[in-house]
Amino acid sequence: MSHETIRVLIADDHPIVREGLRTILGFQEGIEVVGEASDGLEAVDLAQKLLPEVVLMDIRMSKLNGVEATRRIKAHNPEIGVIVLTNYDDDRYVFEGVEAGASGYLLKDISFDELSEAIHRVARGESLMAPSVLRKVLDEFAHRAEERELPHEGLTPRELEVLQSLAQGLKNEEIAKELFITGKTVKSHLGSIFSKLGVNDRSQAILYAIKHKLVDID
């Protein structure tokens, strides 16, 4: 870190919260509040001008929410650490805040010492989250993984039929005859299938079909 004292920017749309944080941090050794922002746009602007080591970011603000403000700050200055402060561990922005590049995600009911420690840790390049927030993020990761579309789910019904025929060992002319289409159409479908599945040839396409149980192999 280039400064002995950690430079902190506070971003919150509630004046009382900003005043409270400024007062609290004023008593913490090694921490200096260098600016305050009352909305997301101002937070992005001040972060660019002041270049703090850490930004304490409220998540729900006017003009620009904390998620988008974090994303813009990290895009311009990835070395700045952002700690998102929220009142609720089930806030709908939790996962988006982490994806945007927040280094920490804490509840506003943490103690003064915990906040000070969090600022020092994030300034050192570490990441941290409140336990209940971490559970929320892990649950969301698992949920999104379950909902993620598999490559073959993007195939059209006809392309799926061609893939299944291919996996059964049929040649192009045999596929054409079985599906009542031309050989040229079969080649066109195969090209689309390879592209959508991310494979390079017939063998890889067949292995994909078998792996994902798209065809019955006796």
Give me the domains of the chain, ranges plus CATH numbers. Answer: 6-146 (3.40.50.2300), 151-211 (1.10.10.10)
Length of the chain: 218
Instruction: Give the pLDDT confidence score for residue 136 in this predicted structure.
Output: 64
Confidence of residue 166 (pLDDT cuts 50, 70, 90): very high
Q: What is the pLDDT of residues 22-65, one digit of tens each?
A: 999 988 889 999 999 999 999 999 999 999 999 999 988 888 99
119 φ, ψ to 5°?
-65, -45
pLDDT at 181 over 80: yes
- Rounded to two decimals, the pTM is 0.60
Q: Residue 145: pLDDT above 60?
A: no
Share in percent of the chain as helix, strand, coil (round to 5): 55, 15, 30
pLDDT at residue 194 in the model: 93
User: Is residue 45 classed exposed, middle or buried when 0-12, 13-18 and 19+ CB atoms within 10 A define those classes?
Assistant: middle
φ, ψ at 181 (rounded to 5°): -130, 170
SS3 53: coil
- Asked if residue 35 lies in contact with residue 12, where contact means CB atoms within 8 angstroms, the answer is no
| Between 192 and 129, the higher pLDDT residue | 192
> Pick the residue with more confidence: 214 or 107?
214
**Which own/partner contact pairs does 138-146 have at CB distance under 8 Å and 24+ positions apart?**
140/94, 140/95, 141/95
Which amino acid appears at position 127 of this protein?
A: S
